[in-house]
Structure 1
């Protein structure tokens, strides 16, 4: 594992400086706000209205193998993003983790930064498939406000920030942490489909905890240049935007955790207690 990571990091160091890509604003999805808005509205309408309506009198589709291919894709693409993205957290001749700013167009890693950000945006769009699979399997109870809001927020925020502010910046850490969390999550989905015996609340509880921890990390990281490194030139508006959304997500995931794992366990223990008395 260490050899693989070492090899990947070596590849980053040797990134070809001759690449001339300086911006992603002319690429699909991030090239126009209209594209992502239309895509997102279509997603919301399909998963909340059209999909359930079309499936109301149908048997659930068997999409197990399609989902497994999707899970494997997500594991490897997020592992790639997580490991490769570490290089952008600390660029000695430009920034450090306490104040990450977008690299100038002339920087040797600018094309790499653009590549990583655009790939991350692409992966966030593919995350919409999660909900579409729920619709096809008629697992409508899993299409919660938290689930849909989370996916929509990630797609809109990443694409809009990339389009209007360019690539890179203090949100890089969140993208990196988020990628590693998704490696864990999709690995669980893949393994649980192969062996239903590992579908335990313990693993689901752990994944939810990982989600909560990532938002705590993001909150601290966004506060750092606001309170500690005040001379940081990264956009204060984006710092506040990232901070506010991280707080909202922390509240939503915490409420989900309390409702699903604390209150339910409390009720279950009370029922057991009543039966034994």
Structure 2
């Protein structure tokens, strides 16, 4: 009887919670409730943290060179498309870059923004392949807690974004993240093509700077909200989440940048390499190695960069 009462209470709380959701997105793929995506996320965590490494333990690592080339440039194409859609549905066609509210109407512009938010959300499931490729290639040292946490929390939090606030100032970080992904996955795609393309990757050292610029822009933009006299953004909770996430990753990257580029430069070359490896393994969630099995991702997006071969 107690279990039945608890179940009824949970159902009642959920009904009250979901009644404020955007009715336009309720019938879209994975949007009916957070349960389907939760199952996918839990399955992902179980595979990359337990099942996958055990299955690969006595197997030869997969050679995924061609798969990685197609995958990385595929993400580049998808990211370019999302950049265009975010710009055309608001950020380049009317948004003020200040107190931009969510448009819940059925106008073509509002629906275009909502659809772009859903596509960005869905792309986070595609990017889970980053970790799966690590496991299949027996690069288990690159499957860090922060890496898996990031890939798990991004789609989970974005479900609520698409379901409640698909548009407005809370989507600026998604636009920036898509721009950064074009650059990062282009690097990974070229890296995957082989050593003969390394001469075209001279700009690798600037990738961390690009990430830092992204976090500064995201944090600066979202923090405007706290200094506005009147900004009736419909779901302020998302502002707090984005702001917190942005500041955390900005701090992590500044710390990484200091140890890798500033403090590290004053050390002998051997110690520079050790310092680099220590900090990238400690706080970064992806890998950009010579074979292109790389990952740069984040939210607020917290894009995270991590060199193996620097």
TM-score, normalised to structure 1, is 0.80
Q: Pick 1 or 2: higher relative contact order, CA cutoff 8 A, min separation 6.
A: 1
Distance 2:73 2:265 in 1: 32
CA 1:257 to 1:132, structure 2 compared with 1: closer, same or farther past 3 Å?
farther
Cα separation, 2, equivalents of 1:171 and 1:268: 44
User: Which has the higher mean CA deviation after the structures are superposed, 179-188 or 196-205?
Assistant: 196-205
- Counterpart residue number, 2:189: 190
> Is the aligned partner of 1:138 residue 2:144?
no
Aligned to 1:15: none
Structure 1 match to 2:220: 220
What is the total number of aligned residue pairs between the two structures? 248
Query: What is aligned with 1:99?
Result: 99
CA drift at 1:261:
4.8
TM-score scaled by structure 2?
A: 0.72
Task: Return the alpha-carbon distance in structure 2 between the equivalents of residues 120 and 155 of structure 1.
Answer: 9
Measured at CA, do residues 23 and 266 of structure 1 come closer, stay the same or move farther in structure 2, by a change above 3 Å? farther
The CA RMSD measured in Å over matched residues stands at 2.5
1:252 and 2:228 are equivalent in the alignment: no
Displacement of 1:122 in angstroms is 1.1
**Paired residues of 1:128 and 1:151 also in contact (CA < 8 A):** yes
For residue 120 of structure 1, report the CA deviation from its aligned partner. Answer: 0.7
Q: Distance in 2 between matches of 1:194 and 1:230?
A: 52
Check whether the contact 1:219–1:243 (CA below 8 A) recurs between aligned residues.
Answer: yes
The 3 A distance-change label for structure 1 pair 106 and 99 is same
Task: Name the CA shift for 1:78/1:214 in 2 (closer, same or farther; >3 Å).
Answer: same
Q: CA deviation at 1:220?
A: 0.6
Q: CA deviation at 1:83?
A: 2.2
C-alpha contact 1:181 1:211 (8 A) present in aligned 2:
yes
Which 5+ residue runs of structure 2 have no aligned equivalent?
A: 1-21, 273-310
Instruction: Give CA-to-partner distance per residue, 1:72-121, whole Å, 9 cap, x none.
Output: 210011011112211312554xx421112111314331221122111111
